Amino acid sequence: MSKDSNEKIVLKKPLRFKFYFTIGVVVFLIFGSALFAGFNIIEVLSNLDQTFRLLDKLFLPPAWDYTSRIIAPLFETVQMAIVGSFLGALVAFPVSVLAADNFIENKFVNTPVRIVLNIFRTIPALVLAALFVAVFGIGSFAGILALFIFSFGLISKLTYESIEAIDYGQVEAIKSLGANKFEILRYAIVPQILPQFMSYTLYAFEVNVRAAAVLGYVGAGGIGQTYERNLAMRYFDRVGMIIIVSFFAVLIIDVISRNIRKRLV
Q: Which residues here bind other proteins, judged by CB under 8 A?
A: 167, 169-170, 172-180, 182-183, 186-188, 191-192, 194
Q: How far is CA 181 from the centre of its chain?
A: 32
Spatial separation of the C-alpha atoms in residues 187 and 205, rounded to whole Å: 27
Q: Among 245, 147, 160, which Cα is nearest to 200's? A: 160
Give the nearest distance from C-beta 204 to other proteins in angstroms.
22
Cβ 92 to other proteins shortest distance, Å = 19
* Residue placing its CB nearer to other proteins in the complex, 130 or 185: 185
Q: Shortest distance, CB of residue 189 to other proteins, whole angstroms?
A: 10
Convert 141-162 into a string of H (helix), E (strand) and C (coil): HHHHHHHHHHHHHHHHHHHHHH
Cα–Cα distance for residue pair 179/184, rounded to 1 Å: 6
Tell me how far, at minimum, the Cβ of 179 lies from other proteins, in Å. Answer: 5
Residue 109 CB, nearest distance to other proteins (Å)? 18
Q: In this complex, which beta carbon is closest to other proteins, that of residue 123 or of residue 190?
A: 190
Smallest separation (angstroms) from other proteins to the CB of 256: 24
Task: Say whether 148 sits in a helix, a strand or coil.
Answer: helix
Considering beta carbons, is residue 104 or 130 the nearer one to other proteins? 104
The three-point CA angle 33-38-43 to 5° equals 125
CA distances from 68 to 72, 104, 243 (A): 8, 52, 14
Give, to the nearest 10 degrees, the angle between helix 125-136 and helix 140-164: 140
Q: Smallest gap, in angstroms, from Cβ of residue 157 to other proteins?
A: 23
Q: Which is nearer to other proteins, 16 or 186 (CB)?
A: 186
Kindly tell me which of 63 and 193 has the beta carbon lying closer to other proteins: 193
Helix, coil or strand: residue 95: helix
Query: Based on CB atoms, which residue is closest to other proteins, 177 or 256?
Result: 177
For residue 17, give every residue at least 6 positions away whose Cβ sits within 8 Å of its Cβ, in sequence order, or none.
none
Q: Name the DSSP class of 177.
A: T
Nearer to other proteins, 36 or 182 (CB): 182
